[in-house]
Structure 1
Amino acid sequence: MYEINLSRCIFCGYCEVACPFDAITMGHDFEMSDYHRSDLIFTKEMLLAEPLERTPLRAEGE
């Protein structure tokens, strides 16, 4: 199971350096707060981006 637990993160940037695909990037958002610790845990499914809508080069049957 893959998850990022921001309540344990010290924002050192090691995960950003170690990621071979530049999928993890550190931004300038540093005031991340919540009322429940469980809301600071992100799973793989929560982090996946929506698929891009692609326009076909040709219409079907051409």
Structure 2
Amino acid sequence: MDDVARLRQMADEVRAIRTRTCEPKSNENKRYLDLSVAVSGLNKAADDIENEGLQTKK
């Protein structure tokens, strides 16, 4: 699995954790907001790597 796919998979896993563990599902919930920021960060990192052509396979 390359780095971009791995980051996207991590984002999906964090999103699933957020869905399971956060009520209410809104940015007024600190945990929901923190996990949303983590998802955004993972996706941004994946986009950056993809755009720079730095994908490496492991």
Q: Same fold (TM over 0.5)?
A: no
TM-score, normalised to structure 1's length?
A: 0.25
Q: Which has the higher strand share?
A: 1
Larger Rg: 1
Relative contact order, higher structure (CA 8 A, sep 6+):
2
